[in-house]
Structure 1
Amino acid sequence: MPANEKLKEKIAHLPHKPGIYKFFDEQGIIYVGKAVDIRKRVSSYFNRSTQHNKKTLKLVSQIRDIEFTIVDTEADAFLLENNLIKQYQPKYNILLKDGKTYPYICILNERFPRVITTRNKKNDGSRYFGPYPSGTAMYVVLDLIRTLYPLRTCTYNLSPENIAAGKFKVCLEYHIGNCKGPCEALMDETEYNANIAQIKNILSGNLSVAKSYFKEHMAAAAAEYQFELAHKYKTKLDMLEDFQAKSTVVSNTLTNIDVFSITSNEQCAFINYLKVMNGSIILTQSLELEKKLDEDDADILASVVVQLRQEFESTSREVISNIELQLPLDNITVTYPQIGDKKKLLSLSLKNALYLRKEREGRQEKNKELSGQRELRVLETLKKDLRLTELPRQIECFDNSNFQGDNPVASMVCFKNGKPSKKDYRHFNIKTVVGPDDFASMYEIVTRRYRRLLDENQPLPQLIVIDGGKGQLGMAVKALRDLGIYGQVAVVGIAKRLEEIFYPGDSLPLYIDKKSESLKLIQRLRNEAHRFAITFHRSKRDAGTLKTELTDIKGIGPSTADALLQKYRSVKKLRDLTLDELSAEIGKAKAAILYAHLHAPVEGKQV
């Protein structure tokens, strides 16, 4: 059964239930989608082809199999789709590209706990905070903690027995004031654990407990005239308030919130995520995602919200967004604030997303500008090397192709401002030349090309490059003379063997430095013209072979073969058609003959 017939049969038996569907090509999964009604959603890919963009049409053309999974609710489909995308990373789904592990701050499960950094979260009883989007963001918090609180960094087993036995001695960290020496019982466990409790509050985004602690101890020290100690507490309090001032955006009345904003252009979406706890932004992440199937902003952001909340272990029940968002998740509220502190947070998030977009687009424009400057420099070099009177902003290159005189064709490629202008490429079927005569073929195609430009009053190029030696260059010059435009356009030939550049009427070739950018440009032109001609020649030769194969079938004439070839191009594509599809193209009688021929068992092959 043909592949498309199998797909139609599968689609006809898909359920009208919520779930996910997977599209496969020959290698594996290429797309995962969710649906409230699986059959309706999958059918839409095949029944509304005129409404799809090029990317979606390309996806559909590659589908060879479909699988589905039924779930209970739309929310289940939403989450399952997200998990499968992360697992299989299909090429037509939008993906978060990082794929990296993010760092955590870990308070180890041990006596006199150490505070360390790690990228490996374990189920070992330790307390993990994060993950942080970057090491820089994490170390800002870690440096604050280590400045405020004296913590041990050694790996000793500080059991009561080991300490009592005097197994350890204080290290340099004790002498410079970074540790209070619990290894020698110089700091008791109660005081150390009190510091750890405050550190946990700070890492959770709650600075008020630590601030209250420093305020109380500062006041108590001052009341006892211990002004030096009071100043130490005052310094630590100032550090906390300075840290909070840099982190707090609006007010301490806000609880846990996730803020998402999105802006996009035709190619990419730009997203910002702010994780807010107790009025402080504890995490910010900006992303640029390439669009795969012209997805709208709501679909992109919904997928990213789930992925980032899982990645950064968010437990907030409120999501703020700058666009309407459908999140079929339990206990999650999406809001779109218009005023107040939440609006300020949303504005800040959108400002970051817009900045990322502006920066990326600005960089692209700069790259284009730099590329334009480089191309202008190459053209100036080419003008100098070839001693041209004009800057060759438009260059056209000609090449012939035939195989033992069969199917002679030619090509012309056009470069504008040093770049291929593929809309101006041209193929030529040789019409006036019999046999393998490259010289006469060159005369014909140059004549046809520039007679047409003259007839249509189109501008001529500044440089013509002929792929060949003196003979082909001479025929191109003759064509230009006969058209009356020789002298208006510079023309040169390039010989493949030694990369020699020939001028009309000059017996000695020009040798350009092999490393020269101008020679590389001419080589690119020549190679592109050769590729374009060879591709056309092969397709024409294959079409001739295929046409002969079709017309050799009794009952299939040349006109029928031509019509099928023009639309389907290959026997493989014809073989994939059903009998009904063939009948719609050429009628039932011819379709039956052709279908029987295409699907006949090959001699000697087991069936």
Structure 2
Amino acid sequence: MTAEERNAIEQHLKGIVLNLPEKPGSYQYYDDTGTIIYVGKAKNLKRRVASYFNKDQQSSKTRMLVSKIRNITYTVVNSEEDALLLENSLIKQYRPRYNVLLKDDKTYPSIAITKEYLPRIFPTRHIDRKGATYYGPYSHVPTMHALLDLCRRLYHPRPCHTPMSQEGVESGKYDVCLDYHIHKCAAPCVGKQSHTDYMANIEACREILKGNTRDVARRLREEMTQLAAEMRFEEAQALKQKYDLIENFRAKSEVISNVSYDIDVFSIESAEKVAYINFLHVVNGAITQSFTFEFKKRLDESDADLLALGIVEMRKRFDSHSKEIVLPFPIELPENYATQVVPQQGGKKTLLDLSRQNVLQYKFDRLKQAEKLNPEQKQVRLMKEIQTQLGLPKLPIHIELFDNSNISGEDAVAACVVFERLKPAKKRYRKFNIKTVIGPDDYASMREVVERRYSRLVEENDTLPDLIIADGGKGQMEAIRSVVVDKLHLDIPIAGLAKDSRHRTREMLFGDPPISVAVKPDSTLFHLLTRMQDEVHRFAITFHRQKRSKRQVASELDLVKGIGEKTKALLLSRLGSVKKIKSASLPELQAVIGEKRGESLYEQLHTEGKA
């Protein structure tokens, strides 16, 4: 596109923006094919749309969106609430490329109560508002079946599918079926149950489906008490059985509080590319709906914007008209839409905590599911987390860790372990004998090893690490930095893993001067760092033990004539230690290395002992 064409487009869009009304409404952006690529809402259309073209405030994603805009249309509405609802409707209709995408498009089942002379109650995924009243939808299908089962066991709505009219019942058109004989139906179709009684049962079912189980139980108890007072014990017993059924159901359902809350509760957990929102619908203090859904981000949407969009979507989907909404933080909603509450304590805070627990569990489950389908995704996620926590310029694909090991300066060694994509690359592990340091000086040993390691990599033009981690705190980090940065002039980030008094990983350090990085001790990343630290420590200790063992063996057996490396190895593998070799009898030594060599070894060891 030429500069003239670009300028013509900008002038065209500027003309539209200048003429936008300062009223609430929804605006739509179009690309060069005439396709809607973004839908938004605004209290003030002119001010909101103009903000997209303020280059000083544009993010990279917004700049990308603006570069695609070729036309703008808008719809004026009467209120902010109407703008919010219209935005939600247009997003679902056009699914614009740059709007957040609700990833859940499932049709969840509802419970229908038909508008017949003798209404039926059944589950369905097909909504026909003219023919029935619907309750739900139910994201948790077992909950729906539990409610249906409760209604059927308590009130026996007819299970047949036959359309029935008042004329048909009064004319004797219908016959008694098997359901009556097995006590699943009271046969209102043939007059064995009155129409008034049947409709009272249907109304009771409506109350149960609305979540008013507490009121239903209370009325049953009152009727039962009245019947007992009138000495009508058989009828009272029948009501008691119903009362016990509904109380058992209430005990199993999640009743949060004795306070009769009728509220909606929302919480949000946001990640880089998606946001998860949990919705709890509470009636009379009991949760009747619990649903977590997922929005795929397209621009730099804030949690407040996403939560507002989610609230409108879920309340519309579940047909909620609760006058109060419980939220983790206040958001911008139309003034008359609902009362916002951000609780700090009490029953509503308990509900909000439960909602957050649900959204965190959903996020964790989605993460685990994705990692099973793509095992490398976990490594990438953790590398991104390290990159974010430390502010690294690129993903730490290649990480190297160092550790020293010695006893009072004796047999001093060091080790370097390498992790590629957070997995041990054991072929690239390296061992170092300390050559220039005398005595127990860990910092000097670290400087020697690091200089040998990276001088060689630079000389051989080999791959340098994206991150160096010291098995230690500030002192070890500074020892590495003095060589890598000050002496070799390499730009490699350096971190440290400090331990507590029990030699357990306590914290991660980074920066100059080093400061503690906020990695939660119960997080996956912290456990990974602990395993990495344990691995370099294991490798260094193993090498140190090997060297110490070799020196000890050399001090005892290298002075014996006629005993070479293979014979020493054979003796140690069979007898276990130098001490056991020295205490072995002549026949035992001869059994291992032969008659003559065994006799020679026995004489030299015991002659030396007598001397």
Aligned pairs for 1:198-597 (under 5 A) are: 198-219=204-225, 222=228, 230-365=236-371, 369=375, 457-459=461-463
CA 1:275/1:4 → structure 2, altered by over 3 Å: closer, same or farther? farther
User: CA, structure 1 residues 370+156, in 2 after alignment: closer, same or farther (shift >3 Å)?
Assistant: same
Q: Does 2:10 match 1:10?
A: no
2: distance between equivalents of 1:71 and 1:181?
A: 52
Helix, strand or coil for the counterpart of 1:2?
A: helix
> How high is the TM-score relative to the length of structure 1?
0.58
Name the structure 2 match of 1:187: 193
CA contact (8 A) 2:220 2:243 kept: yes
User: In 2, Cα distance between the equivalents of 1:105 and 1:333?
Assistant: 29
Q: Which runs of 5+ in 1 are unaligned?
A: 374-392, 395-415, 420-452, 462-607
What is the count of residue pairs matched by the alignment?
Answer: 388
Q: For 1:279 and 1:272, locate their aligned partners in 2 and report how far apart those are by CA, in whole Å.
A: 18
8 Å contact 1:23–1:66 — kept in the other structure? yes
Q: Does the 8 A contact of 1:258 with 1:320 survive in 2?
A: yes
| Mapped partners of 2:78, 2:229: distance in 1 | 66
Taking the aligned partners of 1:417 and 1:347, their CA distance within structure 2 comes to: 36
Query: Out of 36, 43, 58, which is 1:29 matched to?
Result: 36
More divergent stretch after superposition (154-163 vs 76-85): 154-163
CA distance in 2, matches of 1:165, 1:217: 34
The 5-angstrom pairing of residues 1-80 of structure 1 reads: 2-14=5-17, 15=20, 17-18=22-23, 19-27=25-33, 28-48=35-55, 51-80=57-86
**Aligned to 1:269, what secondary structure does the other structure show?**
strand
Query: Following the alignment from structure 1 to structure 2, what is the Cα–Cα distance between the partners of residues 152 and 43?
Result: 60
Report how far residue 291 of structure 1 moved: 1.4
Report the RMSD for the aligned CA atoms in angstroms: 3.3
Judge conservation of contact 2:26–2:40 (CA < 8 Å) in 1: yes
| Distance of 2:378 and 2:268 partners within structure 1 | 32
Pairwise CA distance, 1:56: 2.6
Q: Is the 8 A contact 2:308 2:333 kept in 1?
A: yes
In the alignment, which of 112, 131, 143 is matched to residue 137 of structure 1? 143
Q: Does the CA-based 8 Å contact 1:20-1:32 persist in structure 2?
A: yes
- Residues of 1 paired with 2:302 and 2:49: CA distance? 18
CA deviations 1:55-98 (Å, max 9, x no partner) are: 33322232222223344544443332222212211011113233
Give 1 or 2 for the bigger CA radius of gyration.
2
Task: Indicate if the aligned counterparts of 1:17 and 1:70 stay in contact, CA closer than 8 A.
Answer: no
In structure 2, C-alpha distance between the alignment counterparts of 1:68 and 1:185, rounded to whole Å:
60
Segments of structure 2 that go 5 or more residues without pairing to the other structure are 380-396, 399-419, 424-456, 466-611
* Alpha-carbon distance, 1:369 to partner: 4.1
Report how far residue 158 of structure 1 moved: 4.3
Distance 1:89 1:229, change over 3 A: same
Sequence identity, in percent? 44
Aligned equivalent of 1:482 = none
Q: Helix, strand or coil for the counterpart of 1:199?
A: helix
SS in 2 for 1:107: strand
Shift in alpha-carbon separation, 1:263–1:186, aligned structure 2, 3 A = same
Residue aligning to 1:530:
none
**Contact 1:249/1:345 (<8 A) preserved:** no
Query: Which secondary structure does the structure 1 equivalent of 2:101 belong to?
Result: coil
Q: Does the aligned pair in 1 maintain the 2:276–2:359 contact within 8 Å?
A: yes
Sort the Cα spacing of 1:248 and 1:137 in 2 relative to 1 into closer, same or farther, 3 A: closer
Verify the 8 A CA contact 2:116 2:165 in the aligned structure 1.
no
Q: Relative to structure 1, is the Cα distance of residues 29 and 186 closer, same or farther in structure 2, using a 3 angstrom cutoff?
A: same
Does the Cα contact within 8 Å between 2:104 and 2:293 map onto a contact in 1?
A: no
Report the counterpart of residue 93 of structure 2 in structure 1.
Answer: 87
CA contact (8 A) 1:270 1:353 kept: yes
Distance of 1:329 and 1:116 partners within structure 2: 38
Paired residue secondary structure (2:53): helix
Residues of 2 paired with 1:200 and 1:372: CA distance? 47
* Letter of the 1:243 counterpart: F
How far, CA to CA, are the matches of 2:219 and 2:44 in structure 1? Answer: 57
